[in-house]
Amino acid sequence: MGTKRHFRVWRGDESGGEIQDYDVEVNEGEVVLDIIHRIQATQSPDLACRWNCKAGKCGSCSMEINGMPKLGCMTRMSTFEANETVTITPLRTFPVIRDLVTDVSFNYEKARETPAFAPPAGVKPGQYRMQQVDVERSQEFRKCIECYLCQNTCHVVRDHEENKPEFSGPRFFIRAAELDMHPLDARTDRKEFAQASMGLGYCNITKCCTEVCPEHIKITDNGIIPMKERVVDRRYDPLVWLGRKIFRRDQLESGHAGEMTPSVTAGVTGVAAGLGPSGARPPQGPPLGPDGRMEVSELIASNAGGPSPFGDDQEFPLPGSELTYRHPAPGKDAAPPSSH
Ligand code: SF4
Ligand code: SF4
Ligand code: FES
């Protein structure tokens, strides 16, 4: 026989809502998703909640539990005090559809904008070979279950709708990092693309994303920071420094520097484009802002994608008409709860 415990669950839709109180039986070994199912079975059959595997593997049951982004199916009731009220609210960063279900299509849009694996020329699928050490290096990032808890947590977009168009978020930074360290990936500008077109410069390595990742992926330490370091390495490359001494910026911008002018790689311009057409390194790095960081505005480029490994009929990026993400209506922030 279980004990009665107090729960508060956010109910509503995009037009608004409120917290509703429930007293629910809790049994030994249960998780928060069990409680939601019991509420559906005994009190509110119309309570909306997304879930699939109940095993921490599908990434569907993301929610905020007592203000912390978590998986409902992996949050044991035994982690709360016996008399503690448990408050369950939808992910705050994405528009609410109904109750605990949010529209996470922002993430699908960012996934489409992230260039896919570029197959090496002349090697057919099935002939790919790589060292075990290279497999292991990126294995950590492949554990991602796309729960988007990291995306929901990142302060760059959590309270800043205006940053969403430019910022892909931690989930896609580790995708870029994984491909950057892939020995067979034919695309050589992954980190530059992340800096220029995915908003890597917005990240100030607070590590909040790492804290909430249910797969314990070291998003910041193993993905974002090394990629940032490699971007900065290029800026402080002695050849880059020498180039800056030789060519004035106005010469570079007007193209008088000949082959030393930064090249344009698909989707990336300026220093982010990597090697120049002759193989010489671009001589001009982006200026640093007063805070010592690169100015993101220096690195704006169109979000062109790479070739699809699935064939020529799939274009990247997809046309806007095929993207389902819509920014929430003004005033959306008032709808979902911020703290309870
Ligand atoms: S480390 Fe970067 S990506 Fe992760 S939550 Fe902080 S700002 Fe966002
Ligand atoms: S990196 Fe971790 S938190 Fe982010 S989507 Fe993947 S599994 Fe979820
Ligand atoms: S239901 Fe699949 S991760 Fe929770």
Could you tell me if the CB of 206 is within 6 A of ligand 1? yes
Q: Which residues make Cβ contacts (< 8 Å) with residue 19, sequence separation at least 6?
A: 8, 9, 10, 11, 87, 89, 337, 340
- For residue 163, which ligand has an atom nearest its CA? 1
Ligand 1 pocket, mutate which of 219, 225, 227, 296 (most atoms under 8 A from CB): 219
190-230: pLDDT as tens digits: 999 999 999 999 999 999 999 999 999 999 999 999 999 88
Query: Which residue has the least CA distance to atom 5 on ligand 1?
Result: 154
The predicted pLDDT at position 95 comes to 95
Task: Looking at the CA of residue 147, tell me the nearest atom of ligand 2.
Answer: 8
- For residue 146, which ligand has an atom nearest its CA? 2
Could you tell me if the CB of 156 is within 6 A of ligand 1? yes
Q: Ligand 1 mean position to 221 CA, how many Å?
A: 11
Residues of the chain with pLDDT under 70: 234-340
Amino acid 124 reads K
Q: How many C-beta neighbours within 10 Å does residue 81 have?
A: 7
Could you tell me if the CB of 56 is within 6 A of ligand 3? yes
Could you tell me if the CB of 220 is within 6 A of ligand 1? yes
**Residues spanned by CATH 1.10.1060.10 within the chain?**
105-322
The predicted pLDDT at position 164 comes to 96
- For residue 143, which ligand has an atom nearest its CA? 2
223-236: pLDDT as tens digits: 999 999 888 776 55
Task: Looking at the CA of residue 74, tell me the nearest atom of ligand 3.
Answer: 4
Task: Looking at the CA of residue 53, tell me the nearest atom of ligand 3.
Answer: 2
**Closest alpha carbon to 49 in 73, 75, 24, 28:** 73
Say how far apart CA 222 and CA 102 lie, in whole Å: 29
Q: Ligand 2 mean position to 206 CA, how many Å?
A: 16
Q: Ligand 2 mean position to 171 CA, how many Å?
A: 6
Could you tell me if the CB of 206 is within 6 A of ligand 3? no
Could you tell me if the CB of 215 is within 6 A of ligand 2? yes
- For residue 214, which ligand has an atom nearest its CA? 2
Amino acid 118 reads A
Could you tell me if the CB of 51 is within 6 A of ligand 3? yes
**Residues spanned by CATH 3.10.20.30 within the chain?**
3-102
The predicted pLDDT at position 291 comes to 66
What are the b/e assignments for 7-27, b being 16+ CB within 10 Å? bbbbbbebeebeebebebebe
The predicted pLDDT at position 126 comes to 85
What are the b/e assignments for 35-59, b being 16+ CB within 10 Å? bbbbbeeeeeeebbbbbeebebebb
The predicted pLDDT at position 264 comes to 37
Q: What is the CATH number of domain 3-102?
A: 3.10.20.30
Query: Which residue has the least CA distance to atom 3 on ligand 2?
Result: 213
pTM above 0.85, yes or no: no
Could you tell me if the CB of 172 is within 6 A of ligand 2? no
Q: Which overall architecture, per CATH, does domain 105-322 show?
A: Orthogonal Bundle (1.10)
Say how far apart CA 112 and CA 198 lie, in whole Å: 12
